[in-house]
Structure 1
Amino acid sequence: MIYELNHVGGPVQDLDASLDFYTALGAEIVDHLFMAGPQVTRVHLQLGTGLIELLHANSPAPDATYGLNHVGFMTDNLDADYARLIEAGYAELSPPKVAGSGQGRLAFLADPNGHRVELLQRTEEFRVPPITTGETRRLAHIALDAPDLEAATTFYSEHLGLPHDSGRFTLNQDTLALSPTWPPSTTPVNHLALEVTTPRPDLHDPDGNRITFVPVS
């Protein structure tokens, strides 16, 4: 069973610049690990209750692309959930395997609009109690383009089991927002919306991810 919307993540070109950007917004580093096998540094940042996973390769491929490119979900039965989703017709990207960190196992598939969805099964917990000391109170939502909103709704609500309301899918503390009409983005994840005490104009992080701000509700 899929029980948690765990993180949004992707590769970064300059790890220090990305860390400076997000910590200036109030994020805290809750996990920092060098994975010797793939030669990748993994950092989890927490904004409010939401986790952002940054991946930095020591020797990236010449054609490497950067930016948030997947959403990760926790499951208590990776093999069964992955097999069920593939049998339902969703595209296989990477079958279940041991994670490069050695922490549990993972797999990737594509949602109906081609977004990368990671399934994770592990015992490690990186999330800490909600961070509410700064201006950013929470990661309000992770936004994905959904040209085929009906198919995406079926995937996230019926097959992943996320409760939903008007294009927003919430599991535990975090929310995925889908729309066919977001303004265009240069990264696979359309934008992150942060709930803040004082709204401000949109920003872009060092890899071009758009960050929007909404007032505390």
Structure 2
Amino acid sequence: MGKFKMAHTMIRVLNLEKSLAFYKEVLGFEEVKRNDQPEGEFTLVFLGDGESNGHQLELTYNYGQVVPYDLGTGYGHLALRVDDLEAAHAEHQAKGYKPTDLKGLSGDGKPRFYFLADPDGYKIEIIRN
């Protein structure tokens, strides 16, 4: 058996265009691949961050879904790294995405992360690189 490698993470979205706009405009992701399956009544859109590791975020849009998905208690969050945490936080705040305050875990008082949510309520942690 060979080594396993991360391929993608899938989340279901209620409004594909709204979610695409969020992930492209707010986080800088790019559409890598789209798979429309009209007979299966769904569309899959794969987004990448432009890095070479290849891990992608798959947005699954099910036709006819009108009720927001129940995120349940099992989902935690996606985590993304950024070089300038304070600048990213200020930009997200200025654009009205309501990030949490900058927070830190170690005793040095230095901010290390914050959270924001996508249009479906999925939490995203932004971490200092």
TM over 0.5: yes
Give the equivalent residue in structure 1 for 2:109.
none
Matched, 1:196 2:102: no
> Which of 16, 29, 53 in structure 1 is aligned with 2:31?
29
The normalised TM-score by structure 1 is 0.40
Q: Distance in 2 between matches of 1:15 and 1:204?
A: 15
Letter in 1 for 2:84: T
The CA deviation at 1:29 is: 0.3
The CA deviation at 1:63 is: 6.2
Identical-residue share of aligned pairs (%)? 30
Give the equivalent residue in structure 2 for 1:46.
48
> Residues 66 and 16 from structure 1, CA distance in 2 versus in 1: closer, same or farther, beyond 3 angstroms?
farther
> Which of 58, 61, 69 in structure 2 is aligned with 1:56?
61
SS at match of 1:65: coil
| RMSD (CA atoms) | 2.2
The normalised TM-score by structure 2 is 0.65
The CA deviation at 1:4 is: 1.8
The CA deviation at 1:3 is: 2.2
Q: Distance in 2 between matches of 1:18 and 1:5?
A: 22
Alignment of 1:1-217 (within 5 A): 1=1, 3-24=4-25, 25-47=27-49, 48=51, 49=53, 50-60=55-65, 65=69, 188-199=74-85, 200=89, 201-216=114-129
Give the equivalent residue in structure 2 for 1:120.
none
Number of equivalenced pairs: 97
Q: CA deviation digits over 1:41-99, x for unaligned, max 9?
A: 11000124431000111112x666266xxxxxxxxxxxxxxxxxxxxxxxxxxxxxxxx
Structure 2: tracts of 5 or more residues without a match:
90-113
